[in-house]
Structure 1
Amino acid sequence: MQDQDNIRSGFNGTLTFGHRPALLIVDFQRGFTEPALSPLASDCGAAVLATNELIDAMRGVGTVIFTLLGYQRNLSDMGAWGRKCTSLDTLIQGTPTCEIDPRLHYDPATDLVLRKTQASAFFGTPLSALLAARRCDSLIVAGATTSGCVRASVVDAMQNAFPPFVVQECVADRSAAQHASNLVDMQSKYAEVVSLARMRQMLEQLK
């Protein structure tokens, strides 16, 4: 996973997993997981099922937060991003594309849902304040896409001093090449990329 050129350049440190983690599930919504609904979607089935294992392991340890990317019908809240990604207009609030994938173990009684309009889960949302209020000391990250909203959220997590831990089996991307390259990039510079088995062990130690 590590890139040797980055290691030689000094990108060789590690992040310490804390005692008060939160789990951030980025945009595992139907518009990204059901290709029949949106051209943005891809087959995320394996990652969704792996994320259920992660959610189950997180219960009793910390907060579970879901994000949903979507826009008003007039798209007035999209900003400039729609000029680059023209299929974002399929993600309209109140439609099936902006629903949490029904396969996920979402619990409306305990889990938080944040709606966002840009790539990062931190941009224009109260995520940083919510994590600070819960004294979060590390952020576990799952979701879609690895090269897009996951990576943007990971970079902002680091910049907001919430050390991010990306669970490899629990992130997905429509591009295999971008998925692989962004895992290397995040591991080198912004996060710890860990296996689901390793993360489950880490969470079990906190119970």
Structure 2
Amino acid sequence: MDAEPEPIEIDRRRCAVLVVDMQNDFGARGGMFDRAGIDITPIERVVEPTAQVLAAARSAGFPIVYLKMQHSPDLADTGGPGSPHSIKHARLGVGKEVSAPDGRASRILVRGTWDTDILPRLAPQAGDVIIPKHRYSGFFQTDLDKVLTDRNIKYLIVSGCTTSVCVESTVRDAMFRDYHCVVLADCTAEPIASDQQRTNHEASLLTIQLLFGWVSDSGRLVEAIAGS
């Protein structure tokens, strides 16, 4: 598969697609980011190429693993009021009771609510795996490593949001566990930016391709699947 900084050979029998936090709180109007005044346009733009990747991956028989950022209703898994995780998320209203766009009662980043549902265009299908998490990394206190190991997975095609936080945290932890990660640039998104020329998205992709994995895009992945 063509990628930066060099092509990578992937054993398709040991490859899975990882979808990081593509859920309503981050990518939907009325979700946590949108309510906080954060521009979700970059996340909205990656939905369609991600859908195309999922279609190609399913046709090739690749396992699809979804990560969902969520907390228990009592917020006990946030680390408590004094934890850095709680402090950083308090300004975003974690746990706050809100109304979903369709009028249903919901809560920000709380499991079992509209807010933590996967975006409809990318909804999981039968046989897909959904792994909840309560920190940025998909490997922290979750079954992700066991799920991948049980399926003999060694190569991860990574999509999702946000690039510099949950995606990069997960890729770093994956690399520490000797997984080969290929991050798809047009299927990852980041709302944090100082201006149009300097973005955390680009900085994270550069770090990943230099030190933690490889960077490619949806078109090159689909081409590689079709040609294999």
Q: TM-score range by the shorter chain?
A: 0.7 to 0.9
In structure 1, what is the Cα distance between the partners aligned to 2:191 and 2:86?
18
1:181 matched to 2:203: yes
In structure 2, what is the Cα distance between the partners aligned to 1:24 and 1:88?
27
Partner in structure 2 of residue 85 of structure 1: 89
SS at match of 1:103: helix
SS at match of 2:78: coil
Give identity over the alignment, percent. Answer: 28
In structure 2, what is the Cα distance between the partners aligned to 1:88 and 1:23?
30
Shift of 1:124: 1.1
Partner in structure 1 of residue 70 of structure 2: 70
Shift of 1:120: 0.7
Partner in structure 2 of residue 6 of structure 1: none
Partner in structure 2 of residue 98 of structure 1: 116
1:154 matched to 2:154: no
Partner in structure 1 of residue 129 of structure 2: 112
Aligned residue identity for 2:168:
R
Q: 1:35 to 1:147 in 2, by over 3 A?
A: farther
Partner in structure 1 of residue 11 of structure 2: 18
In structure 2, what is the Cα distance between the partners aligned to 1:50 and 1:136?
23
TM-score under structure 1 normalisation? 0.87
Give the counterpart of 1:196 among 198, 209, 218: 218
Q: 1:203 to 1:115 in 2, by over 3 A?
A: same
Q: Which has the larger radius of gyration?
A: 2
- 1:101-155, Cα deviation, whole Å (9 max, x unpaired): 0111521x11110100011111111111111111112001000000110000101
- 1:1-36, Cα deviation, whole Å (9 max, x unpaired): 97xxxxxxxxx7775423321000000000000242
RMSD after superposition: 2.0
Q: 1:35 to 1:121 in 2, by over 3 A?
A: same
- 1:20-67, Cα deviation, whole Å (9 max, x unpaired): 210000000000002422136622222011100100110133100111
Q: Which runs of 5+ in 2 are unaligned?
A: 95-107, 194-198
Partner in structure 1 of residue 57 of structure 2: 58
Aligned residue identity for 1:102:
P
Aligned residue identity for 2:181:
P
In structure 1, what is the Cα distance between the partners aligned to 2:133 and 2:93?
12
4+ runs of 1 displaced by more than 6 Å? none
- Give the stretch that moved more between structures: 50-59 or 88-97: 88-97
Shift of 1:161: 1.2
Aligned residue identity for 2:72:
Q
Aligned residues: 196
In structure 2, what is the Cα distance between the partners aligned to 1:98 and 1:53?
22
Shift of 1:203: 2.1
SS at match of 1:166: strand
In structure 1, what is the Cα distance between the partners aligned to 2:89 and 2:123?
30
Q: 1:50 to 1:14 in 2, by over 3 A?
A: closer
Aligned residue identity for 1:85:
H
Q: 1:50 to 1:13 in 2, by over 3 A?
A: closer
